[in-house]
Chains A and B, each alone.
Chain A
Amino acid sequence: MALSRREVIWGASAAALGACGRRAPAPGSYVNVYSARHYDADRALFAAFEEATGVAVRVLPANAEQFTERLRAEGDATEADLIVAADAGNLWRMKDAGLLANTTSPALESGVPARLRDPDGAYWGFTKRARVIIFNDQALEPADVATYDALAEARFRGKIVARSSTNVYQLSTLASRIERLGAGNARTWAAAVRANFARDPQGSDTDQIKAVAAGEAHATLCNHYYYLRLARSEDPAERDVASKVGLVFPDQTGAGTHINISGAGIAAHAKRPERALQLLEYLVSDAAQTMLAPLNDEFPIRPSIAPAPELAALGAFQEEDIPLDALGRHQAEAARIFEEVGWR
C-alpha cells in the first residue's frame, strides 16, 4: 500500500524519461492530419487513401478551436500537414490566423464549386450540410415553419428550443443572415427567436430534436444529418423520436436553406505539403465522394455525385447562395449579437 521512496522516484523518472525519449519513427511515407471531424466515415476514407497510395494517414482528432491554438504554439515546427474541420467558420478562423497555406490544383478547381471554397484557396469544402427546421408533426404542419423567420413569430412564444450559440453552427447560421440582410435584421431575428425559447439553451442538436419530439417545444434548428441518424438509430427510442418530427428545408421560396461545409486546408508550415495536397485532392475525388455519400449523411460536394438514398428521399432543395467566407467574416458580430440578446 505504502509507496516506497524508490517506487515513487523510479516510477516518476521512468515516466519522465520514457516521455522525453525518442521522436516517433517515420515508417515509410505518411501524412499527418489534425482533424475536428470524428466520423468513422473519415477513418474509412483515410484507410482507402492508404490502400490506394501507400501513404499512411496519421490522425490527431481534436476540437478545432483547441488544435488551432496548438498549431499557433507549434509555429513552423508543427508536424501537421492537412487540417480538417467542420464548418466554414472554423476554417475561416484558421485562415485568418495564418495557419493555412493557399493552394490550388486543377483537380481541386474542378472538384469543388467556387462557392464552397475559400477564394484564396486556403480551404476547400468536401462535404455539405444543411441547417434545417425540425418540427413536432402533431403540433405543426410543414407550412407553419417554412422559413427561418417563422421561428421568430410571436405565435411560437415558449415553443422553440435551440442549442447554445457557443456552437459554431449557430454562429454560422446567424452570420449568413448578417451577410444577406444586415446586422440589424439579424439582431431583431435572434432577439425574437430568443423570446420564443421554451428553455435556456442546453444540450446538442440531437437533444433539441428530442425535446421537440417530446412536445417540450414545437420546433428547432439543427443540421440535417442528426435527423437521419435518429431515423435509423439502433435505439428504438431514438427511432421513435424521428417518427414524431418532420423536417423542413427552410426559405425555399426565398433565399434558400443555409448550408455549410466540412473542409480541409494545407497547414501553413506543412512538412509534407505534396502529400497533404494528394490527400486533399483525394477527399474531393469521385472515388472518395462516392464512398463518403452512403457512409455518412452529408451531401456530396458536387451535384454530380448522388447523395445517399435516405438523403435523396428528403427531396431536392434550393441552397442559400452566399460565399462561405462570409460565415467567418461575420462570426464575431454574430457572437456579439447572440450575447446581447441573451442567447447563450
Chain B
Amino acid sequence: MALDASSALAEASTPLVRNAHRLDGDVFTMLAAIAAALCATPAIAVFALSLRPGEATAFGGALLRDGAFGTLALTLLGGGGALVLGATAACLVSLCRFPGRRVFEWLLVVPLAAPSYILAYAYGAATWAGAAPLAVQGFWGAAFVYAIGLYPYVYIAMLAAFSSQYSCALEAARTLGARPLDVFWRVALPLARPGLAAGGALAMMEIAADYGAAHHFGVTTLSTAVFRAWYAHGDLRGALQIASILLLAALVFLWFERRARGRAAYVGRSTRLSAPNRYILNPTASVGAFLFCASLILFGAILPLAWLARLALLHGNVEDIAGPLANSLILASAGALGTLALASVIAVIGRRGGALGRSASYAAGLGYAVPGAVIAMGALGAFTLLREAGIVGGLSSGIALSALLWAYAARFSAAGVQPIDAGLSRLAKGLDDSARTLGAGAWRRFTRIDLPISAPSLAAATLILFVEILKELPATLILRPFDFDTLAVRAYSYASDERLLEAAAPALLIFAAGLAPIVLLARGIARLRAGERHP
C-alpha cells in the first residue's frame, strides 16, 4: 500500500515520466492480453465446440468413470513418483557432496529428451523379449514410465530454485547451528517450494495429457477416453466434452498449485560470493546417493535407448532422415522462441497480479493438461471460423506452419510460464518497487529487471519448450504442410504400422537432437548457481 502510494507520488511529480510510464504500461498490458488470448483460444474453442448441439454421446458413463479414475491414479502415482525422484535428486546434487555429483548434476536431466510414448514402446518391447530388468506392463508399467521419464521436470525446476539466494539462506541457517535435516525441512524445502510445485505440476499435467504411453499399456484415462470417443465411436463432440473435463480439472489443479506455491515473496538479494558449502556424505550415504542418481539415468535413458539402439542396428539402414531432422530442429526452435516470448510476458503479468495477470496465467496453463490432438482440434476449429469469415484460405504451407506454431504455444506455454514464474518468485519485492519509484515503466521493468533476474529460469524454459516441441507428435501430425515430416512423425509412421525396428532410428534421433540443448542448458543452470560462476 505504502509502496503503491510512493510510486503514485513519483508518477505525479514527473508528468513526462508519468506519460511514458502509462503508455509503456498500456503497451505491455496489451501485449500480455494478446499473448494470453493466443494461448487460450484453442482451449476455448474446444469448450465451444463441445457445447455445440448434437446427439447424445455414444459412449456410456463407465468410460468417463474409468477414465477419471485412471487419470487420477496415474497422475498421483506417476506424478508423485516423478516428484519424489526429481526432488531427491535435486537435493542430493544441490546440498550434498558425493562422488560423481558434478557429472550427475547435468546428466540427470537426460531422460527429459525421451518422449513418454517412446519409453513406453521401448520398455514394452524389452519386457516382451525378457530383456527388461523388471516387467513394465499395464498400469504399473505406465506409472513407472511416467515417473522415470518426467522426474527431470521437477529436478530442473528445483535446480533453478536452489540457485542464487538459496545458498545464502542455507549458509545462514548452518552458521546459526541448524542440523542438516532441520536445514532441509525448515529452510531448503520451503525455499524450493515454488520449484517443487512448478515442476510437479508440469509432470502431472503432462501425465494427464498423455495418450501414447497410457494407450500402449492399456490404461483407460480421460485422455485415452477422448480418443476412444473420437476414434471408436466417431463422436468428436463427445471427445471434446471429455477434453473439456480435462480442461476444467486443469483449472482447478492450477488453482491448487498456485496455493501450494504460496505467496512467498523474498526480500534480499543474491550475493553470489562463495561456492556453497555442501554436506559431505559419509561413505555409505555417498554410495547410496551415487546409486540413486545412476539408477535414474540407467532406467530413464540408458536401458530404453540401448534397446532402441539394438533395434536400429538390427534394421541397419536408416531411411532418408536428414529432412525430418532439419524440419524437427526448425520447428522446435521457432516454436520454442515463439512460445517463450508469449510465456515470459504472461509470467510477468501474472506476477504483477490483477485480474488480467491471474487470467493470463490460467489461460497459459489450460493447454498443457489436454492431449496435443485436442488442442490441434481447437486450433482447427478456430481456423474454420477464420476461413468462413474469409480471412484465410486453406491450410497452405505458410498457414499450416503458423497454425502449428500457434498450437504449440497453446499447448506448451505453461511449460514456459511455470519455470519463469518460479524464477520471478525469487525476485526481491523491493527491486520492482524501487524501479517503479524511479519511474521505470512496465516494459522497462520487464526487460531490465524481470528478464535478467529470471535468466536461469528462462534458460530452463527454453530447454523444456525446445524438447517438448521436438517430441510433440499429434499437433504436428495434423497441422503440418505436405512433405514436411518431423522425426516424431517419422517414428510414429513406422510405429503405427508396427515396424518398431524402422521406428527405432528416428526415435533415437529425437532423443539425440534433444540431448545437446538439454545438456548445454542444464550445465548453464548449474554454473549460474551462486558463487560458481568462476570455477
Taken together as a complex, chains A and B put the C-alpha atoms of A236 and B340 apart, in Å, by 46
Report which of A18, A23, A339 forms a contact with B396, defined as CB distance below 8 A: A23
Closest chain B CB from A288 CB (angstroms): 19
Interface of B is mostly: helix
Q: In the bound complex, do residue A79 and residue B482 qualify as a contact, i.e. CB atoms below 8 Å apart? A: yes
Taken together as a complex, chains A and B put the C-alpha atoms of A72 and B478 apart, in Å, by 12
B480-502 vs A, Cβ < 8 Å mask (1 yes, 0 no): 11110100010001101111111
Q: In the bound complex, do residue A38 and residue B494 qualify as a contact, i.e. CB atoms below 8 Å apart? A: yes
Q: In the bound complex, do residue A75 and residue B62 qualify as a contact, i.e. CB atoms below 8 Å apart? A: no
Taken together as a complex, chains A and B put the C-alpha atoms of A340 and B60 apart, in Å, by 8
Taken together as a complex, chains A and B put the C-alpha atoms of A320 and B81 apart, in Å, by 50
Q: Is B424 part of the binding interface, using a Cβ–Cβ cutoff of 8 Å?
A: no
Report which of B220, B232, B319 forms a contact with A171, defined as CB distance below 8 A: B232
- Which B residues are CB-close (under 8 A) to A1? 455-456, 459, 521, 524, 528
Q: Is B429 part of the binding interface, using a Cβ–Cβ cutoff of 8 Å?
A: no
Taken together as a complex, chains A and B put the C-alpha atoms of A74 and B379 apart, in Å, by 12
Q: In the bound complex, do residue A77 and residue B498 qualify as a contact, i.e. CB atoms below 8 Å apart? A: no
Q: Is B184 part of the binding interface, using a Cβ–Cβ cutoff of 8 Å?
A: no
- Which A residues are CB-close (under 8 A) to B333? 11, 15
Q: In the bound complex, do residue A203 and residue B216 qualify as a contact, i.e. CB atoms below 8 Å apart? A: yes
Closest chain A CB from B409 CB (angstroms): 10
- Which B residues are CB-close (under 8 A) to A171? 232
Report which of B228, B397, B483, B494 forms a contact with A166, defined as CB distance below 8 A: B228
Q: In the bound complex, do residue B384 and residue A75 qualify as a contact, i.e. CB atoms below 8 Å apart? A: yes
Q: In the bound complex, do residue A73 and residue B384 qualify as a contact, i.e. CB atoms below 8 Å apart? A: yes
Closest chain A CB from B315 CB (angstroms): 5
Closest chain A CB from B117 CB (angstroms): 13
Q: In the bound complex, do residue B397 and residue A23 qualify as a contact, i.e. CB atoms below 8 Å apart? A: yes
Report which of A16, A20, A229 forms a contact with B499, defined as CB distance below 8 A: A229
Report which of B394, B456, B499 forms a contact with A77, defined as CB distance below 8 A: B394
A326-344 vs B, Cβ < 8 Å mask (1 yes, 0 no): 0000011001101110101
- Which B residues are CB-close (under 8 A) to A69? 236, 377, 380, 478
Closest chain B CB from A62 CB (angstroms): 5
Q: In the bound complex, do residue A235 and residue B496 qualify as a contact, i.e. CB atoms below 8 Å apart? A: no
Taken together as a complex, chains A and B put the C-alpha atoms of A211 and B138 apart, in Å, by 13
Query: How many A residues face the partner with a CB closer than 8 A?
Result: 75
Residue of B with least CB distance to A10: B337
Taken together as a complex, chains A and B put the C-alpha atoms of A74 and B395 apart, in Å, by 7
Segment from B175-183, B250-258, B398-406 that makes contact with A: B398-406
Q: In the bound complex, do residue A78 and residue B394 qualify as a contact, i.e. CB atoms below 8 Å apart? A: yes
Q: In the bound complex, do residue B138 and residue A339 qualify as a contact, i.e. CB atoms below 8 Å apart? A: no
Mark out the residues of chain A between 159 and 217 whose CB falls within 8 Å of any chain B CB in the assembled complex: 164-168, 171, 199-207, 210-211, 214
Taken together as a complex, chains A and B put the C-alpha atoms of A165 and B232 apart, in Å, by 7
B458-489 vs A, Cβ < 8 Å mask (1 yes, 0 no): 11001000000000001001111111010001
Residue of B with least CB distance to A336: B58
Residue of A with least CB distance to B499: A229
Residue of A with least CB distance to B397: A24
Taken together as a complex, chains A and B put the C-alpha atoms of A5 and B233 apart, in Å, by 48
Most chain A CB within a 10 A radius of its CB, from B314, B483, B496, B528: B483
Closest chain A CB from B230 CB (angstroms): 6
Q: In the bound complex, do residue B60 and residue A77 qualify as a contact, i.e. CB atoms below 8 Å apart? A: no
- Residues A66 and B58 in contact in the complex (CB < 8 Å), given A8-B340, A24-B481, A202-B216: no
Q: Is A305 part of the binding interface, using a Cβ–Cβ cutoff of 8 Å?
A: no
- Residues A66 and B474 in contact in the complex (CB < 8 Å), given A78-B394, A79-B394: yes
Taken together as a complex, chains A and B put the C-alpha atoms of A40 and B318 apart, in Å, by 12
Q: Is B245 part of the binding interface, using a Cβ–Cβ cutoff of 8 Å?
A: no
Q: In the bound complex, do residue A164 and residue B215 qualify as a contact, i.e. CB atoms below 8 Å apart? A: yes
Q: In the bound complex, do residue B383 and residue A93 qualify as a contact, i.e. CB atoms below 8 Å apart? A: no
- Which B residues are CB-close (under 8 A) to A11? 333-334, 337-338, 341
- Which A residues are CB-close (under 8 A) to B22? none
Report which of B128, B236, B337, B373 forms a contact with A210, defined as CB distance below 8 A: B128
A72-90 vs B, Cβ < 8 Å mask (1 yes, 0 no): 1111011100000000000
Q: Is B80 part of the binding interface, using a Cβ–Cβ cutoff of 8 Å?
A: no
Q: In the bound complex, do residue B334 and residue A19 qualify as a contact, i.e. CB atoms below 8 Å apart? A: yes
Q: In the bound complex, do residue A233 and residue B501 qualify as a contact, i.e. CB atoms below 8 Å apart? A: yes
Q: In the bound complex, do residue A62 and residue B218 qualify as a contact, i.e. CB atoms below 8 Å apart? A: no
Closest chain A CB from B127 CB (angstroms): 10
- Which B residues are CB-close (under 8 A) to A59? 482-483
Taken together as a complex, chains A and B put the C-alpha atoms of A62 and B477 apart, in Å, by 6
Q: Is A63 part of the binding interface, using a Cβ–Cβ cutoff of 8 Å?
A: yes
Closest chain B CB from A136 CB (angstroms): 15
Q: Is A12 part of the binding interface, using a Cβ–Cβ cutoff of 8 Å?
A: yes
Q: In the bound complex, do residue B496 and residue A66 qualify as a contact, i.e. CB atoms below 8 Å apart? A: no
Q: In the bound complex, do residue B218 and residue A164 qualify as a contact, i.e. CB atoms below 8 Å apart? A: yes
- Residues A79 and B396 in contact in the complex (CB < 8 Å), given A63-B477, A66-B474, A200-B218: yes
Q: Is A143 part of the binding interface, using a Cβ–Cβ cutoff of 8 Å?
A: no
Mark out the residues of chain A between 1 and 47 whose CB falls within 8 Å of any chain B CB in the assembled complex: 1-5, 8-9, 11-12, 14-16, 18-24, 32, 38-40
Report which of B58, B230, B395 forms a contact with A65, defined as CB distance below 8 A: B230
- Which A residues are CB-close (under 8 A) to B342? 12
Residue of B with least CB distance to A241: B128
Q: In the bound complex, do residue A5 and residue B447 qualify as a contact, i.e. CB atoms below 8 Å apart? A: yes
Q: In the bound complex, do residue B138 and residue A202 qualify as a contact, i.e. CB atoms below 8 Å apart? A: yes
Q: A8-B341, A8-B344, A77-B395 are known contacts; what are 17 more A-B pairs with Cβ within 8 Å?
A: A3-B459, A8-B340, A16-B338, A18-B401, A22-B398, A38-B493, A40-B502, A59-B483, A60-B483, A73-B384, A199-B218, A202-B137, A203-B216, A207-B128, A234-B315, A332-B233, A339-B233
Write 15 A-B pairs (CB below 8 A) sorted by A numbering: A1-B521, A11-B341, A18-B401, A19-B398, A22-B398, A24-B398, A39-B497, A58-B483, A63-B496, A66-B477, A79-B482, A202-B217, A203-B216, A234-B314, A342-B62
